[in-house]
Structure 1
Amino acid sequence: MNTKFYKLRRNRMVSGVLAGLSDKWKLDVTLVRFLFSIFTVANFGIGVIIYIILASILPTKEEIEAEMYGTGPRKRKEAEAIDDNDGWFW
Structure 2
Amino acid sequence: MNSKFYKMRRNRMISGVLAGLSDKWNFDVTLVRFLFAIFTIANFGVGVIIYVILASILPIKEDIEEEMYGTGPRKRKEAQAIEENDGWFW
Question: TM above 0.5, one fold?
Answer: yes
Q: Which runs of 5+ in 2 are unaligned?
A: 81-90
Between the aligned partners of 2:73 and 2:12, the Cα distance in structure 1 is 25
Between the aligned partners of 1:70 and 1:4, the Cα distance in structure 2 is 19
Task: Find runs of 4+ consecutive structure 1 residues off by over 3 angstroms.
Answer: 73-78
Cα drift, residue 67 of structure 1: 1.6
**Residue 11 of structure 2: aligned partner:** 11
Between the aligned partners of 1:37 and 1:52, the Cα distance in structure 2 is 14
TM-score by length of 1: 0.78
Between the aligned partners of 1:72 and 1:34, the Cα distance in structure 2 is 34
Between the aligned partners of 1:16 and 1:35, the Cα distance in structure 2 is 15
Pairs aligned (count):
78
Cα drift, residue 71 of structure 1: 1.6
Task: Give the residue type in structure 2 aligned to 1:21.
Answer: L
Cα drift, residue 72 of structure 1: 2.6
SS at match of 1:71: coil
Cα drift, residue 5 of structure 1: 0.7
Map residues 7-86 of structure 1 onto 2, 5 A cutoff.
Answer: 7-74=7-74, 76=78
Task: Give the residue type in structure 1 aligned to 2:45.
Answer: G
Distance 1:77 1:3, change over 3 A: farther
Larger radius of gyration: 1
Cα drift, residue 74 of structure 1: 4.4
